[in-house]
Structure 1
Amino acid sequence: MKIGIFTALFGDKSLEEALDIIAAEGIQAVEFGAGAYPGSPHVGGSHEAVEALIADKNKQAELLKAVESRGLTISAISCHGNPIHPVKEIADDHHRAFVNSVKLASALGVKCVNGFSGCPGDGPEAKNPNWVTCAWPDEYRDILEWQWNEVVIPYWAE
């Protein structure tokens, strides 16, 4: 077993500074955020920068060297977002971050991608995520069925 840390905690530090602090504390593994809510401060800071890292084997080698030279490993790439958010722009942004996270993990040889399944709204016109947690009265059951059958299952079945 290894002790790891999510580098989003050091989002105000450069990659080098964050890795130095982490290694000095005896932590053995790092989890890099690659978009959505935690951002991607240590793998580029934007979708475009993450996509450039995915496409550039030299940049990947530099990142791996920075990690491994401190005796660390990358335990996971993270994308804690809501790809089924009822606001399309947010959902699309978080979907892009999720896809990039999977591609980045593959490019770096990282076997774990952490994320959120997402939370839809309570109907097609919703503006905010809202997960129903009860089955009665009947309208709550109907909302829950809509959430699963029209949003969650279709997204993740893709």
Structure 2
Amino acid sequence: MRLGVYNAILHDRSLPEALKTIAGLGLTGIELNTGGFLPAKHIPNIDQILESDAARDDFLAIFEGTGVEIAGLNCNGNPLHPNPVIGDKHGNDVKRSIRLANRLGQNRVVTMSGLPGGEPGAKQVNWVVNAWNSAALDVIDYQFEIAAKYWKEVDQLARDNDVKVALELHPQNVVFNPATMRELIERTGATHVGVELDASHLFWQQMDPVAVVKDLGPLVFHAAAKDIRVNPYVAINGVLDNSFRKLREDEPRTNLGGDEWANEWPKNSTWDFVAVGKGHPAEYWAEFLKACHDVDPNMWVNIEHEDTSLGREEGLALACETLFKAAKIGNL
């Protein structure tokens, strides 16, 4: 089992400094952001690398002697967004990342399936949470038609470049669980599109990541170690609570493309992202690592740190402690 870090949490430092931090934690991989919701902080010259062997070789030379290798590329975003300012950019970022992966000797690109509007001419996305009425199923069918057209094209590009595209099972996307993943494959016939198993978004949906890995089997291409804690307030508002606050223009906020921004997390949150180990013990993560290992012994499991109560390195250190203990428990 190979353990690394998704680099977004280390965007506050240069790539060489990030690699030094990762190696110091005893990890061996870095998953590089290459577009989508976030800028490609650690690989800003993507276009040059795509065209120039010298630029590619210079970039790869940064990793020599560090003990850390590239552990996949990541361009999480919404490639199906009805606003072309967002959808077209994110969709092109996915395709560019596939070509970049080939250039860098990589075979994994992580992203999201995306989410369109609910009808022709829509300007905003529309995620059907509970399709109890017939019109809602019509919306889902329309969205899958759009998704299938895009992902057929991406699957062919991935096949041509010997790259596997791993979709995070993320809410507010057409693909967010095993059933919707299989629906996409059935509609596209995809052979190079599968799953990035991020445990966190499964936890809060009351899914069991270990059971999901076993259910999907070889469709799991890649994994993320990210934890959540369910809070007592879930008894009042449930896991689908939407008590977010829209941040003002004069407040620090993260752009998600176009004029869309991340909101402030609910004050009395029903669940929170926490460092690996604060939501589920090492014994559980041992089962998770073993399930991933049984699918592919060479699968990368990369830490994604979004625990706002801990500093960057503090949170990564706790996650490492948990995962190293889990690997020992599982004899991995």
Q: Work out whether 1:155 is the aligned partner of 2:156.
A: no
Question: Cα offset for 1:38?
Answer: 2.5
Equivalent position to 1:120, from 116, 120, 142:
116
Cross-structure match for 1:17: 17
Offset from partner CA, 1:46-90 (integer Å, 9 cap, x none)? xxx311122122222222221232011111011101110111121
Structure 1 stretches of 4+ with a deviation exceeding 6 A read none
Which structure shows the higher helix fraction?
1
Matched AA of 1:25:
L
Percent of counterpart pairs with the same letter? Answer: 33
In terms of fraction of residues, the more strand-rich structure is 2
Name the counterpart of 2:131.
135
Retained in 2: the 8 A contact 1:8–1:39? no
* Structure (1 or 2) with the larger CA radius of gyration: 2
Aligned partners of 2:17, 2:67: CA distance in 1, in Å? 15
Distance 1:80 1:144 in 2: 21
Q: How does 1:1-158 map to 2 (within 5 A)?
A: 1-44=1-44, 49-149=45-145, 151-158=146-153
> What letter corresponds to residue 3 of structure 1 in structure 2?
L
How far 1:137 moved relative to its partner? 1.5
CA distance in 2, matches of 1:153, 1:100: 19
Segments of structure 1 that go 5 or more residues without pairing to the other structure are none
What does the per-residue CA deviation read over 1:74-132, in whole Å, with 9 as the maximum and x for residues that have no partner? 11011101110111121111112111100110001011111111111112232222222
Scaled by the length of structure 1, the TM-score of the pair is 0.90
Describe the SS at the equivalent of 1:30.
strand
Separation in structure 2 between the aligned mates of residue 105 and residue 121 of structure 1, nearest angstrom: 30
Matched residue SS, 1:85: coil
Q: Which has the higher contact order (CA 8 A, sep 6+)?
A: 1
2-structure distance, mates of 1:7, 1:23: 13
CA contact (8 A) 1:43 1:53 kept: no
Give the letter for the 1:87 counterpart.
Answer: N
- What SS does structure 2 have at the residue aligned with 1:3? strand
Cα distance in 2 between the residues matched to 1:70 and 1:128: 44
CA shift, 1:37, in A, is 1.0
| Residues paired across the two proteins, number | 153
